[in-house]
Amino acid sequence: MKNIYILILFIAFTACSTAKHLPADDYLYTGMKIEVVGNKEAKSINDDAMEEINAALTITPNNAIFGSGSKRWPIPFGLWMYNLLYKYNKGPLGWIKKKIAAEPVLLSYVNVDVRAKTSTNLLHDYGFLRGSVTAKEVKKKRKCKVHYIIDLGHPFIIDSIQYTGFQKDIDSLINANPKDKFIEKGQLFSIMNLGNERNRIVDILRNKGYYYFRSDYITFEADTVNSPGKIMLRIFPRKDVSKAVYKKWYPGKRSISITSENMPVGMPMDSTIYKDITIYHLGKLIVKPSILYNNFRLMPNKTYSVSREERTMSRFARLNVFRSTNISYTPVTDSKKNLLDIQLNAVTEQRYSSELNFDFVSKSNDQLGPGTTFTLSKRNIFKGGELLSLTLKGSYEWQKTGSTKTYNNGDKSLLNSWEMGTTLSLTIPRLLLPHESEKERRGTPNTSFELSFDRLNRAHYFRMISLNSDMNYNFQPTKYKQYTITPLSLTFNLLRAKTATFDSIMNANPGLSLSLSNKFIPAMKFAYTYDNATDQTKRNHIWWNTTFKSAGNIVSLGYKAFGKSFNEEKQIFNNPFAQFLKFTSELRYNMKISRSASLVTRFFGGVICSYGNSDVAPYSEQFYIGGSNSLRAFTIRSIGPGKYKPDESYTYSYMDQTGDLKLEANVEYRFKIAGSLWGALFTDMGNIWGLREDSSRPGSRINFNRLPSDLALDTGFGLRYDFSYLVLRIDAGYALHVPYDTETNGYFNMRSSFKDAVGIHFAIGYPF
């Protein structure tokens, strides 16, 4: 009992001491409270406004929980140390004070009135023209908590919109695509939407040659007198602008100035003329003139266009030659035509760069170990903006202590494995296609080549050598759509140094043996991606990726032309080649519920069909499920295919849990807990299956009649800490249903042991 009294007295003393050394006329700021009042209609449409207002009002007090403006840890250790070491600024105690103590956040630092006025202005900007934010300071014993009251008032709605005073040709451009407008009748009035509409008009006009047109040349008038809560909106141009603003301008003389970062000002430069472009440079020209010419998209035979200007800047940026670029314009005064002389100024980048990465992994198969990757890159290797990269990688893994196993040769040593490899890649900042330089393309198209060699050693099992080469075309025809076409992909896997233990596993699993056998994989691939996450005007975002891959079919047709039958085994380099079709599609939908909550869903489907020259798809192409980004109550490759469950004594059972068909669905509700700490409630469902009967894996073939019971199901809770540049994540999943027999009746058939049903995953980034 005495100890309890001492503890109470200590807490009371420290609670008082947190405000001990404050300025005489100031208070310790202890956080805020926000209360929203107003009609129901206003509260239902104020999420965007509240997000900005909350950011304007929030300032973190001492011992805040994860940056929260209202929640604090109960023990203010930093303040205690500040008051204890208040007098010390030098020496050891001064160093401790600097490192550990936390200076008090004062009420005067918060600027309560300024924050309230700023938030009131934000309310007005979002259409709550009668809204207000007031502050009440709750002071007690040299401490103060601020209570903000947000009165939304009545929202103002746009009743009518009128564009007036524009020239006829300009007016037709503005109203050509009504669906693109940011303002419409019946919409909540918003200064942000007005700004977006003004920028839309400016972009339209500047893309049609009106170089001098700027956003401040457009004026808005909002009449709120005629109808309560209604706004009559009028949009018109300013009258006091130069006549040059309403003229269409054309590129005149074009030039490029190439300098280095340390080049002295005024140093004389050499010049090279290529077609109609003059290139100024120091010494030997480091880039082919044709490359510079083809990427200069502001052309004399077309009007000035801001989109072509941006395309020119992005194309020069992706050449892997220049660190920075800018464009300057000079009007030609003695020309009858409205001409702009254009000069592009570019500063060269260092030609070599390197990157070294270390990591340490722990896998679901009880293996852990370090790995390293070193990449050396050379820019502009062939004077066309190319990027050549050489990557060396290596890793070593050992099986955790206690996981030893006796092998067929009597060896009881730990399972140590290693991997080493190298990759040589070349990226060319254009599509290597006929007449490509004449075409106008959005984005940054490129062609890439990659050649890789990998050697994998699985101690006591096998060694594998993998050779791979790829050629890819990447281009983005629209803002949201991206295509990747792989006309040629060659992969060769060679299995060597097989052990008796590995052979016994293969003999017991013929399907697995075929999938891991020596294979040559000649393939081509097409991938389509839609992603509108960069569009901040959209409340909800969609990401969709679809990939189609074909392997061995063109080679098989070639053999067919020379008389080989479709089902007769055919070889390349004395090894059979894989023949299959593979299709995958993944859809993610992020629905914003409020400023601090969203519902994210993900659907994945994939199928691979082997035929002709091979009955089983290569192991690397087959599907698997489970893990930190999939079914989070299960480890990777621990579910399926179908109802199949390998014997628990089978150490490398995870190698066998792959399939030809995969279905998966995930739902995750994300919500803010405090500051940068977010929480998530999730549910995952899915499985993999085989398309053919497999006697070594009973129940693995897809059967649509039992599909509901074949889908594994879990639920769980996760935490995410968002550093803005990095997200740390921990998820704890609980298995509700597994497709195999657990000797438990009913749909929720996991065993009673809580440990057997829970999976915990640490990861970086969101799962989807």
The predicted model gives 153-164 an average pLDDT of 90
Indicate the pTM of the whole model: 0.75
Phi and psi, residue 690, nearest 5°: -100, 155
pLDDT of 478 higher than 90: no
Q: Which two tokens stand for residue 391?
A: 């990557």
Among 196-200, 413-417, 628-632, the minimum mean pLDDT is found in: 413-417
Whole-angstrom distance, CA of residue 172 vs CA of residue 197 = 15
In terms of domains, do 146 and 186 share one?
Answer: no
8 A C-beta contact, residue 485 and residue 472? yes
pLDDT of 433 higher than 90: no
8 A C-beta contact, residue 523 and residue 582? no
Phi and psi, residue 106, nearest 5°: -90, 150
pLDDT of 265 higher than 80: no
Give residue-wise pLDDT tens across range 516-562.
777 788 999 999 999 998 887 788 899 999 999 999 888 777 777 66
8 A C-beta contact, residue 307 and residue 207? yes
Domain count, the chain: 3
In terms of domains, do 256 and 338 share one?
Answer: yes
Instruction: Give me the sign of the Cα torsion angle 379, 380, 385, 388.
Output: negative
132, 151, 170: which is the final residue of a domain? 151
Question: How far from 304 is each of 206, 293, 343, 635, CA to CA, in Å?
Answer: 7, 17, 14, 57
Give residue-wise pLDDT tens across range 112-140.
999 999 999 999 998 888 889 999 999 99
CB atoms within 10 A of CB 248: 14
What is the pLDDT at residue 463?
84
In terms of domains, do 138 and 212 share one?
Answer: no
In terms of domains, do 229 and 270 share one?
Answer: no
In terms of domains, do 67 and 109 share one?
Answer: yes
In terms of domains, do 79 and 199 share one?
Answer: no
What is the pLDDT at residue 389?
96
Q: Which residues pair with 466 in a beta bridge?
A: 454, 493
CB atoms within 10 A of CB 218: 21
Whole-angstrom distance, CA of residue 474 vs CA of residue 486 = 9
189, 215, 246: which is the final residue of a domain? 246
8 A C-beta contact, residue 401 and residue 674? no
Whole-angstrom distance, CA of residue 569 vs CA of residue 585 = 31
Q: Residue 583: inside a domain, yes or no? A: no
What is the pLDDT at residue 571?
74
| Largest Cα span, the chain | 99
CATH number at residue 309: 3.10.20.310
Burial of residue 243 (CB within 10 Å: 0-12, 13-18, 19+) is exposed
Between 693 and 440, the more confident residue is: 693
What is the pLDDT at residue 404?
44
Q: Residue 758: inside a domain, yes or no? A: no
Q: Residue 594: inside a domain, yes or no? A: no
- pLDDT band for position 410 (cuts 50, 70, 90): very low
- Helix 77-84 to helix 91-100 angle (10° resolution) is 160
Q: Residue 379: inside a domain, yes or no? A: no
pLDDT of 323 higher than 50: yes
Number of alpha carbons in the 13 Å side-chain half-sphere of residue 290: 7
What is the pLDDT at residue 195?
92
DSSP 618-637: -GGGSB---STTS-TTS-TT
What Rg do the C-alpha atoms of the chain give, in angstroms? 33
Give residue-wise pLDDT tens across range 3-50.
554 444 444 444 446 777 888 889 999 999 999 887 655 555 567 778
In terms of domains, do 220 and 258 share one?
Answer: no
Whole-angstrom distance, CA of residue 77 vs CA of residue 85 = 12
Nearest C-alpha neighbor of 380 from the set 347, 349, 345:
349
Which domain, by its residues, includes 147?
2-151
Whole-angstrom distance, CA of residue 107 vs CA of residue 61 = 10
The predicted model gives 187-209 an average pLDDT of 93
The angle at the Cα of 659, spanning 656 to 660, to the nearest 5 degrees, equals 150
Burial of residue 411 (CB within 10 Å: 0-12, 13-18, 19+) is middle
Q: Which two tokens stand for residue 78?
A: 């930093």
Q: Residue 303: inside a domain, yes or no? A: yes
Between 43 and 169, the more confident residue is: 169
Q: Which two tokens stand for residue 500?
A: 């008796």
CB atoms within 10 A of CB 665: 16
Cis peptide before 522 (omega within 30 of 0): no
Return the beta strands (E) in 631-768 as ranges: 661-674, 677-689, 712-722, 727-737, 758-764
Phi and psi, residue 199, nearest 5°: -65, -35
What is the pLDDT at residue 267?
74
Indicate the helix (H) or strand (E) that contains 172. Answer: helix 168-174
Q: Residue 97: inside a domain, yes or no? A: yes
Whole-angstrom distance, CA of residue 578 vs CA of residue 491 = 10
In terms of domains, do 344 and 209 share one?
Answer: no
Q: Which two tokens stand for residue 768?
A: 């989807």
DSSP 271-309: EEEETTEEEEESSS-SS-HHHHHHH----TTS---HHHH
Percent of the chain's residues with pLDDT above 90: 46
Give residue-wise pLDDT tens across range 752-765.
677 778 888 888 88
- pLDDT band for position 305 (cuts 50, 70, 90): very high
Whole-angstrom distance, CA of residue 620 vs CA of residue 492 = 11
The angle at the Cα of 553, spanning 548 to 559, to the nearest 5 degrees, equals 170
Q: Residue 115: inside a domain, yes or no? A: yes
Between 543 and 51, the more confident residue is: 543
- pLDDT band for position 638 (cuts 50, 70, 90): confident
Q: Residue 621: inside a domain, yes or no? A: no
In terms of domains, do 16 and 110 share one?
Answer: yes
Q: Which two tokens stand for residue 671?
A: 């919500």
Neighbouring residues of 488: CB distance < 8 A, sequence distance ≥ 6: 469, 470, 471, 522, 524
What is the pLDDT at residue 751?
66
- pLDDT band for position 403 (cuts 50, 70, 90): very low
Whole-angstrom distance, CA of residue 422 vs CA of residue 716 = 40
In terms of domains, do 78 and 143 share one?
Answer: yes
Between 23 and 503, the more confident residue is: 23
Question: How far from 197 is each of 52, 181, 412, 628, CA to CA, in Å?
Answer: 20, 6, 72, 43
Neighbouring residues of 25: CB distance < 8 A, sequence distance ≥ 6: none
Pairing of strands 339-348, 250-259: parallel
- SS3 of residue 256 by DSSP: strand
What is the pLDDT at residue 415?
56
Question: How far from 478 is each of 270, 531, 532, CA to CA, in Å?
Answer: 39, 10, 11
The predicted model gives 215-240 an average pLDDT of 89
Q: Where on the phi/psi map is residue 320: left (φ > 0), alpha (ψ -120 to 50), or beta?
A: left
- SS3 of residue 146 by DSSP: strand
- Helix 2-17 to helix 77-84 angle (10° resolution) is 70
Whole-angstrom distance, CA of residue 125 vs CA of residue 194 = 10
In terms of domains, do 185 and 298 share one?
Answer: no
Whole-angstrom distance, CA of residue 5 vs CA of residue 514 = 74
- SS3 of residue 611 by DSSP: coil
pLDDT of 614 higher than 90: no
In terms of domains, do 144 and 17 share one?
Answer: yes
Q: Which two tokens stand for residue 168?
A: 């006829």
Whole-angstrom distance, CA of residue 277 vs CA of residue 296 = 9
8 A C-beta contact, residue 495 and residue 456? no
Phi and psi, residue 213, nearest 5°: -75, 130
Question: How far from 299 is each of 168, 276, 526, CA to CA, in Å?
Answer: 27, 10, 33
Whole-angstrom distance, CA of residue 196 vs CA of residue 210 = 19
Whole-angstrom distance, CA of residue 208 vs CA of residue 741 = 68
Whole-angstrom distance, CA of residue 628 vs CA of residue 764 = 10
215, 246, 277: which is the final residue of a domain? 246
The predicted model gives 77-94 an average pLDDT of 87
